[in-house]
């Protein structure tokens, strides 16, 4: 997730500015249109739907073919989440901050592919007031402002999320205490430089400056050919009403407010009844303990399971309880209303965590049914 450095006193101001910008985008919304997609072909289906830009400014009513469930907003979020999950695998590269990337032999398809990316990006922002959380912030800034000049702090923060975890550890150590690098680590750093086109010897004096250049090249310059198709696809009405109103701080704040930390998710959840029975209090305690213990990937899966999106929900999550037990016992999510049913029949918190993690790692958990 994006590292954002904004003074606490500025957060309220940024929130108001962002709300004003979103309200300008909301004014453009028109009638509802129904779209049908298949979960296993969502990438192709969304390409078909968004090959015609007339879909933008329409409110969506999404049907997943072969699945039951009505769209009160949850399935629209699920559609966008499913699209980005597939698009990031096929058309992007990176670890936690992804940038556009396709093989050179597919460049003839680039205008069609990344025009769809631009259409979906702006329409998702219009309907859900959010951006894909793993879409590299520096790349988005480059797209929106049509520039390769991104400030060095943003580039470095984003590049640390773009590289692999071992690379991240090595680079952070080199930034903090270059002189403490071992011979092996210096060799790895030299190889990293070579792989990323920096054909010079790393040095303590120049390391930060050199790393900024690598970051700029990887996050902005290399994707620029593909970025231009994303920018061209964003409707001019959207650019005037919303994107042109933003700056680096506002885009950073947009990412920041979507970060699903444990504290934020806990603040999102409420029970449908104020006075809980003893067994409900225990089950609710187990859920809160689970939320505090999961990593970022599991947190995103949990939110996707409950709300249809890996982002923090604007309208919270409601917890209700059921008495299912035995083979029928399981948490049940209602993404249309951001409601999670949890059984009260767990013997321990470990029992609850095992079952919840098993569900989140099952593909069937994200298929909509009326059960």
Q: Taking residues 66-91, report their average pLDDT.
A: 86
> How does residue 122 score in pLDDT terms, banded at 50, 70 and 90?
very high
pTM over 0.85: no
What does the pLDDT read at residue 363? Answer: 66
Q: Is the pLDDT of residue 370 over 50?
A: no
What does the pLDDT read at residue 301? Answer: 87
Reported as a single tens digit per residue, the pLDDT across 257-270 is: 878 889 989 999 99
CB 299 within 8 A of CB 264: no
Domains in the chain: ranges and CATH: 1-259 (3.90.1750.10), 262-366 (3.30.2410.10)
Q: Is the pLDDT of residue 73 over 50?
A: yes
**Left if phi > 0, otherwise alpha if psi is -120 to 50, otherwise beta: which for 66?**
left
Q: Taking residues 100-127, report their average pLDDT.
A: 96
What does the pLDDT read at residue 310? Answer: 74
Reported as a single tens digit per residue, the pLDDT across 154-179 is: 999 999 989 988 999 999 999 999 99
What does the pLDDT read at residue 42? Answer: 94
Which CA distances in Å does 231 have to 119, 120, 225, 319?
9, 12, 11, 40
What does the pLDDT read at residue 13? Answer: 82
> How does residue 94 score in pLDDT terms, banded at 50, 70 and 90?
very high
What does the pLDDT read at residue 152? Answer: 94
Q: What value does the mean pLDDT of the chain take?
A: 90
What does the pLDDT read at residue 371? Answer: 45
Lowest mean pLDDT among 114-118, 142-146, 305-309: 305-309
Q: Is the pLDDT of residue 28 over 50?
A: yes
Return the higher-pLDDT residue of 69 and 159.
Answer: 159
What does the pLDDT read at residue 287? Answer: 97
Dihedral in degrees, nearest 10, Cα atoms 64, 67, 70, 75: -40
Lowest mean pLDDT among 216-230, 296-310, 357-371: 357-371
Q: Is the pLDDT of residue 5 over 80?
A: no
What does the pLDDT read at residue 154? Answer: 93
Q: Taking residues 324-335, report their average pLDDT.
A: 89
């Amino acid at each position: 997730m994006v590292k954002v450095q904004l003074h606490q006193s500025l957060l309220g101001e940024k929130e108001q500015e962002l709300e004003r910008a979103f309200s300008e985008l909301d004014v453009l919304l028109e009638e509802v249109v129904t779209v049908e997609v298949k979960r296993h072909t969502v990438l192709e289906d969304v390409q078909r739907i968004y090959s015609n830009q007339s879909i933008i400014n329409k409110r969506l009513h999404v049907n997943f073919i072969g699945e039951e469930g009505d769209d009160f907003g949850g399935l629209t979020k699920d559609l966008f989440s499913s699209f980005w999950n597939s698009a990031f695998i096929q058309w992007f590269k990176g670890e936690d901050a992804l940038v556009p990337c396709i093989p050179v032999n597919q460049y003839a398809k680039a205008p069609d592919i990344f025009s769809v990316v631009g259409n979906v990006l702006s329409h998702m922002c219009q309907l859900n007031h959010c951006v894909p959380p793993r879409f590299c912030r520096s790349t988005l800034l480059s797209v929106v402002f049509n520039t390769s000049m991104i400030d060095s702090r943003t580039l470095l923060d984003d590049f640390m999320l773009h590289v692999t975890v071992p690379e991240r550890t090595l680079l952070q150590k080199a930034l903090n205490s270059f002189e403490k690098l071992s011979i092996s680590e210096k060799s790895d750093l030299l190889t990293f430089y070579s792989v990323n086109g920096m054909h010079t010897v790393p040095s303590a004096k120049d390391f930060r400056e050199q790393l900024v250049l690598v970051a700029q090249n990887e996050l902005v310059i290399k994707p620029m050919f593909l970025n231009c198709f994303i920018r061209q696809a964003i409707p001019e009405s959207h650019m005037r009403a919303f994107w042109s109103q933003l700056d680096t701080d506002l885009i950073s704040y947009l990412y920041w407010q979507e970060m699903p930390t444990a504290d934020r998710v806990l603040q999102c959840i409420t029970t449908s009844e104020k006075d809980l029975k003893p067994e409900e209090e225990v089950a609710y305690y187990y859920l809160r303990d689970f939320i505090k213990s999961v990593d970022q990937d599991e947190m995103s899966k949990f939110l996707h399971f409950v709300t249809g999106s890996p982002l923090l929900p604007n309208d919270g999550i409601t917890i209700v309880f059921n008495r299912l037990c035995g083979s029928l016992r399981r948490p049940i999510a209602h993404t249309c209303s951001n409601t999670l049913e949890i059984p009260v029949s767990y013997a321990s918190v470990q029992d609850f965590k095992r079952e919840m993690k098993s569900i989140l790692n099952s593909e069937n958990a994200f298929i909509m049914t009326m059960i």
